[in-house]
């Protein structure tokens, strides 16, 4: 997984070496390291676009950022370039004591910076923690990385699984809140600025989700969504995306409709006569965009399984089949856009579902069950569609684990969602 990694020692004179963590990076990734006593930062990237490092000539400030900040010039008008690098933006905001202005940042990113004058480490996640940062800490210092596999390169980080978090992965295909599958390691929450220095650790949230109570007609809502989607796709294309993962479903068709000009369309299938492959080919033709079929032999998925799990920290199941065909795509496209996530955000992927026949395919639409006006985490859990239901867990989970399994999910989900459930 691309992203920052590094170490921070309580003793500013202690050697900070990242060789052990850098040795666990995937082949083909670009590694940048900003070293120095007391703290060292590293960045794993694909070597071009959207990620960067900055080392102040004085040596006092070092910054690494993964991802994009599209409106960097608006956030920092004093910067010379029209499209400043994200590391320049984060450094400028930090120097001006304006990191909280990242609440207005348009993009997906995470950042790490070291202020050697104050012997301080600062870690930042975006508003959705799109790029994760995993943190381990003891009295002597901090180790962190976007990728758990890279973090485990530090021998101080224990290699003991958390059984309750493995239950989350099995049931929901992801972990909840700050939990990770490794004991003693936490995920930094979304919209968080975590500061580590001589005074200890301090976390602050620079943005909070606010519900917009405005009532919109269906036509107004559709127009607003389409405008937002067109702007999002245009930004991605402007940053170098020239391909689209076109599944044939409504989500990726929407992205194709929102693009500016032709895009190379890629559709994956396990056999040539897959009906969604035929639909995608027809849709691409209607949009005057070239189409490429990626036929994935199921055995190839197994061959790349271990590497994919390492790269995605075992957290994102969709990445495993992606890994089987992405190398072929990468040889012809600089970057591709995917509709993955639109279904989670706008169509209630985790909710009970109804199916609508549309354009030759069946698409899933959410169907909410009745829930209390002020729901708890357990109410939300009982309303989820994803993963084995409680009745199945009661059949396959050992009796000593059954109640702890479901109760643990409900408790963690409530703690994570509590700010939004009031």
The tens digit of pLDDT for each residue in 328-364 reads 888 888 888 888 777 666 666 667 777 777 767 777 7
Residue 123 contacts residue 133 (beta carbons within 8 Å): yes
User: What integer pLDDT is reported at residue 64 of this predicted model?
Assistant: 96
pTM, 2 dp: 0.88
The pLDDT value given to residue 49: 46
Order of strands, edge to edge, in the sheet holding 192-197? Answer: 51-55, 61-67, 109-115, 120-125, 192-197, 200-205
Neighbours of 206 (CB within 10 A): 17
pLDDT for 317: 61
What is the pLDDT, as a whole number, of residue 422?
60
Report the 3 state secondary structure along 256-286: HHHCCCCCEEEEEECCCCCHHHHHHHHHHHH
Q: Indicate the pairing of strand 141-145 with strand 61-67.
A: unpaired
Which residues lie closer than 8 Å to 119 by C-beta, 6 or more apart? 12, 38, 39, 197, 198
What is the tens place of the pLDDT at every residue in 24-59? 988 888 899 999 899 999 999 886 544 589 998 888
pLDDT tens digits for range 209-231: 777 777 888 889 889 989 999 99
What was the pLDDT predicted at 347? Answer: 64
pLDDT of res. 59: 86
Within the chain, which residues score under 70 in pLDDT? 47-51, 316-319, 343-350, 359, 368, 386, 421-422
Interatomic CA distance for residues 368 and 348, integer angstroms? 9
Distance, in Å, from the CA atom of 115 to the CA atom of 122, rounded to the nearest integer, reads: 8
Strands (E) across 50-132 are located at: 51-55, 61-67, 109-115, 120-125
Residue 80: CA count within 13 A, CB half-sphere: 0
């Amino acid at each position: 997984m691309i992203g920052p990694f590094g170490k921070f020692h309580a003793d500013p004179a202690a050697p900070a070496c990242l060789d052990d963590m850098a040795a666990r990076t995937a082949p083909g990734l670009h590694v940048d390291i900003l070293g120095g006593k007391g703290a060292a930062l590293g960045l794993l990237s694909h070597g071009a676009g959207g990620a960067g490092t900055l080392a102040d000539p004085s040596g006092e400030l070092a910054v690494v950022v993964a991802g994009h900040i599209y409106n960097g010039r608006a956030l920092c008008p004093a910067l010379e370039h029209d499209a400043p690098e994200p590391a320049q933006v984060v450094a400028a905001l930090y120097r001006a004591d304006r990191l909280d202005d990242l609440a207005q940042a348009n993009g997906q990113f995470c950042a790490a910076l070291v202020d050697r004058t104050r012997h301080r480490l600062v870690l930042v996640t975006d508003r959705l923690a799109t790029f994760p940062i995993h943190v381990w800490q003891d009295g002597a210092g901090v180790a962190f990385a976007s990728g758990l596999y890279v973090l485990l390169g530090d021998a101080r980080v224990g290699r003991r699984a958390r059984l309750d978090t493995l239950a989350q992965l099995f049931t929901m295909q992801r972990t909840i809140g700050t939990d990770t599958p490794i004991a003693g390691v936490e995920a930094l929450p979304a919209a968080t600025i975590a500061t580590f220095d001589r005074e200890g650790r301090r976390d602050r949230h620079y943005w909070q989700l606010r519900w917009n109570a405005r009532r919109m007609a269906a036509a107004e809502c559709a127009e607003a969504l389409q405008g937002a989607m067109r702007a999002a796709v245009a930004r991605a294309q402007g940053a170098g995306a020239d391909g689209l993962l076109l599944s044939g479903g409504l989500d990726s068709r929407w992205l194709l409709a929102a693009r500016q000009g032709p895009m190379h369309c890629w559709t994956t299938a396990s056999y040539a006569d897959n009906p969604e492959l035929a639909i995608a080919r027809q849709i691409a033709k209607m949009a005057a965009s070239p189409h490429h079929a990626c036929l994935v032999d199921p055995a190839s998925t197994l061959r790349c399984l271990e590497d994919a799990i390492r790269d995605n920290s075992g957290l994102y199941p969709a990445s495993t089949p992606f890994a089987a065909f992405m190398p072929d795509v990468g040889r012809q496209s600089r970057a591709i856009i995917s509709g993955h996530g639109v279904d989670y955000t706008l169509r209630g992927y985790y909710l009970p579902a109804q199916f609508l026949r549309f354009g030759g395919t069946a698409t899933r639409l959410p169907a909410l069950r009745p829930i209390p006006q002020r729901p708890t985490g357990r109410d939300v859990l009982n309303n989820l569609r994803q993963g084995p239901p409680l009745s199945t867990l009661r059949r396959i989970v050992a009796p000593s684990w059954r109640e702890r399994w479901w109760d643990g999910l409900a408790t963690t989900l409530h703690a994570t969602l509590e700010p939004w459930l009031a």
